[in-house]
Amino acid sequence: MDNKVWFITGASRGFGRIWAEAALSRGDKVAATARTPEDIVDLKERYGNAVLPLALDVTDVHQVQQVVQQAHSHFGRLDVVLNNAGYSLVGTAEEAGESDVHALFDTNYFGTLRVIQAVLPHLRQQGSGHILGVSSAMGLVAAPLIGFYCASKWAVEALHDSLAQEVKDFGIKVTLLEPGAFATDFGSPASMKASQGLDAYADLRNRVFGHLSTAERGDPEATAEAILRIVDAQDPPLRFAVGAGVLPLVRGAYADRLAAWEAWETISNAAQGKANK
């Protein structure tokens, strides 16, 4: 197996850090990006020339273009493009400020889009490449208090679904990584912002946070081998559930959706009207 060249956003912590180290440990090369480059300097110290540490704020379109070009010029190609940068926003639909929602989407959705648009000319010219988008189980279902985060990941899901169909003929693969609950620092201030809460939703917040405090979380280190298998696969899946809790959650949600659509099927069909010939 030939060594791969990775481009990873959000490589300073969490999944981005774990997957960067997994790639490097097996001999791959990584352009590791982070808002604060000091957070990834140690990767350079440990892995030498296999690492290109780069400062990147995915909300800066010009910096995205520049950094992608720099990484491609440095290594000569990009094989795996992993969009991992993102964070969550806690707040109900009534509580969250519009500016906070814009900022969330600017990172989670538009940041991902900017990287994809920057790398695609290189991948098309190569006739190969694998774009990995970090979605979430919350990109498949929605939960209270994090509806805007869920919405950003649902948007990421749709983007990659369309993208896979658009770039298949160029030899480019696309996979959505959909993690469930893991013991990362995703709940830390660096990964989560909170809107000012209204008293009307205090009981809801207590119930949700109480449930989260007792929820079982997976070992993030255990995900590395699975991700390496995905990038090495000849025919990788468009969607990959990361962790054991995702499929049961999705099965229940989709069963409920199908049941609701089918219960109203007669009225839905009537809304079609008569076919125009």
Question: Is there a domain that residue 275 lies in?
Answer: no
Question: Is there a domain that residue 80 lies in?
Answer: yes
Cβ-based burial of 133 (10 A; exposed 0-12, middle 13-18, buried ≥19): buried
Average pLDDT, the chain: 95
Q: How far, CA to CA in Å, does 80 sit from each of 28, 172, 185, 205, 228?
A: 10, 10, 24, 39, 11
pLDDT digits (tens, 9 = 90+) for 74-112: 999 999 999 999 999 999 999 999 999 999 999 999 999
Could you give the CA distance from residue 102 to residue 108 in angstroms, rounded to a whole number?
A: 10
**Pair 250, 241: CB distance under 8 Å:** yes
Question: Is there a domain that residue 224 lies in?
Answer: yes
192 or 133: which carries more pLDDT confidence?
133
pLDDT digits (tens, 9 = 90+) for 201-221: 999 999 998 887 777 889 999
Question: Would you say residue 198 has pLDDT above 80?
Answer: yes
Question: Is there a domain that residue 276 lies in?
Answer: no
Domains contained in the chain, number: 1
Could you give the CA distance from residue 40 to residue 225 in angstroms, rounded to a whole number?
A: 21
Q: What is the pLDDT of residue 53?
A: 97
Question: Is there a domain that residue 277 lies in?
Answer: no
Active site residue 135: yes
Catalytic residue among 47, 149, 152, 173: 149
Question: Would you say residue 184 has pLDDT above 90?
Answer: no
**Angle at which helices 110-126 and 147-167 cross, to 10°:** 20
Question: Would you say residue 191 has pLDDT above 80?
Answer: no
Question: Would you say residue 185 has pLDDT above 80?
Answer: no
Least trusted range by pLDDT, from 38-52, 102-116, 177-191? 177-191
Catalytic residue among 4, 29, 153, 173: 153
Question: Is there a domain that residue 236 lies in?
Answer: yes
Average pLDDT over residues 223-231: 98
Q: Which residue has the tokens 């480019």?
A: 172
Active site residue 153: yes
Active site residue 277: no
The Cβ of residue 136 has, within 10 Å, a number of other Cβ atoms equal to 27
Q: What is the pLDDT of residue 189?
A: 58
Could you give the CA distance from residue 139 to residue 154 in angstroms, rounded to a whole number?
A: 4
Residue 179 token pair: 């993690």
Could you give the CA distance from residue 228 to residue 212 in angstroms, rounded to a whole number?
A: 29
Catalytic residue among 135, 136, 152, 173: 135
Average pLDDT over residues 111-140: 98
Question: Is there a domain that residue 40 lies in?
Answer: yes
CATH code for the domain of 67: 3.40.50.720
Residue 194 token pair: 């909170």
Residue 224, phi then psi, degrees to nearest 5: -60, -45
Could you give the CA distance from residue 7 to residue 68 in angstroms, rounded to a whole number?
A: 8
Instruction: Enter the pTM of the model.
Output: 0.95
**Residue 276 banded pLDDT, cuts 50, 70, 90:** confident
pLDDT digits (tens, 9 = 90+) for 42-69: 999 999 999 999 999 999 999 999 999 9
Question: Would you say residue 154 has pLDDT above 90?
Answer: yes
Q: What is the pLDDT of residue 211?
A: 85
147 is in which domain, residue-wise?
Answer: 5-270
**Residue 187 banded pLDDT, cuts 50, 70, 90:** low
Give percent of the chain above pLDDT 90: 90
The Cβ of residue 39 has, within 10 Å, a number of other Cβ atoms equal to 16
Q: What is the pLDDT of residue 138?
A: 97
Question: Is there a domain that residue 232 lies in?
Answer: yes
Dmax (CA) for the chain in angstroms is 70
